[in-house]
Amino acid sequence: MQALRDHLDVVEVSYPATSRLRTLAADVLWYPRLRADADMLHCPTFRGPFRARQPLVVTVHDLAVLRHPEWFNRWTSTYSRIAVPRVVAAATRVIAVSEFTKRELISLLGVPAERIHVIPNGVEDVFTPDGPRAEGDYVLAVGTLEPRKNLARIAQAVDGELRVVGVRGWGGVDPPPNVTWLGDVSDDELAALYRGARCLVYASLYEGFGIPVAEALACGCPIVTSRGSAMEEIVGEEAAYVDPMSVESIREGIAQAKPPTPRRVATWPEVAARTRAVYEELA
């Protein structure tokens, strides 16, 4: 957001969902009728107006809630089935964070390809190969504790210590008893964990992008991730690819993981510049 503020007059519009009742009110009453005193409205998720009153840009990170509604709570899956197609249809332009998500938008929602701009996510400047390294001999997993992160299989595949970074999410996913759960950590701590890890295991069942993979790549951390996923766009040939449904495949990937060739990863100011170009197209 700050990278956009440096170049544009940005007014942030929000409805603080501080309780379940306010979340319900936001979803049912506020978002569908959202208005903004602005020349253009950008919704960074697919919660937004059902009818656009000005040029509307919507960023779609993934369509997991439509592909696998069983991974989400009842309200999220039910509301999204109604809201997501309407918000995306109302958008003048759609930003997809990967070619994978673009294909999902075309396949699931019939969005014309010419309305979609692919702008991958970036990483913060702290994620570099140089800097402090966390001590110990461990494998790292990063992500909210939710069903698609596949944490139970990852934990079974790791011989030795598995450190898990991520806040508690939904779906009844708890940290397995044999892991070191660190919860939420600062970017500085996370960068040190990437640098010191034997590898990052990001064997997710579905992702629209995979920011931890980009962060690990920027830090020079060996990467184990899901074959045939959006993460292939980020890492290319620099990862050990596995079948996320197979514990043995994940275990073999950990054994084969090697440090990636140093590579620069896009930063958020670069993402902001490409996003501004979408605005200018509509101005």
Note the pLDDT tens digit of each residue in 93-141: 999 999 999 999 999 999 999 999 999 999 999 999 999 999 999 999 9
Residues 6+ apart with CB under 8 A from 13: 34, 36, 41
**Statement: residue 89 has pLDDT above 90:** yes
Distance CA 96, CA 120 (A): 7
**Statement: residue 2 has pLDDT above 80:** no
**Statement: residue 173 has pLDDT above 60:** yes
Q: Are 46 and 96 in contact (CB under 8 A)?
A: no
Q: Are 224 and 250 in contact (CB under 8 A)?
A: yes
Architecture per CATH, domain 138-256, reads as: 3-Layer(aba) Sandwich (3.40)
Q: In what order do the strands lie in the sheet with 200-202?
A: 180-183, 161-165, 138-142, 200-202, 223-226, 240-242
What pLDDT score does 6 carry? 65
**Statement: residue 3 has pLDDT above 70:** no
Q: 43: which strand partners? A: 58
CATH 3.40.50.2000-classified regions of the chain: 2-122+268-282, 138-256
Query: pLDDT tens digits for 205-237?
Result: 999 999 999 999 999 999 999 999 999 999 999
The CATH number of the domain covering residues in 2-122+268-282: 3.40.50.2000
Residues in the chain: 283
pLDDT band at 36 (very low <50, low <70, confident <90, very high): confident
Task: Check residues 143 and 171 and name the one with the higher pLDDT.
Answer: 143
Q: Are 109 and 84 in contact (CB under 8 A)?
A: yes
Mean pLDDT calculated for residue range 86-90 = 97
Distance (Å) of CA 129 to CA 99, 124, 223, 263: 27, 13, 14, 10
Tokens of 198: 């034997």
User: Measured at the alpha carbon of residue 279, what is the angle toward residues 275 and 283, in degrees to the nearest 5?
Assistant: 165
Distance CA 148, CA 166 (A): 13
Mean pLDDT rounded to a whole number for the chain = 93
SS3 content of the chain, % helix, strand, coil (to 5): 40, 15, 45
What pLDDT score does 150 carry? 97
What pLDDT score does 237 carry? 92
To the nearest 10°, report the CA torsion of 210, 211, 213, 214.
130
What are phi and psi for residue 255, nearest 5 degrees? Answer: -70, -30
Is the alpha carbon torsion for 30, 34, 38, 44 positive or negative? positive
Mean pLDDT calculated for residue range 149-157 = 97
**Statement: residue 152 has pLDDT above 60:** yes
Percent share of the chain, pLDDT over 70: 98
Distance CA 136, CA 147 (A): 28
To the nearest 10°, report the CA torsion of 69, 73, 78, 79.
-110
Q: Are 268 and 122 in contact (CB under 8 A)?
A: yes
What pLDDT score does 37 carry? 85
Structural Rg of the chain based on CA atoms: 19
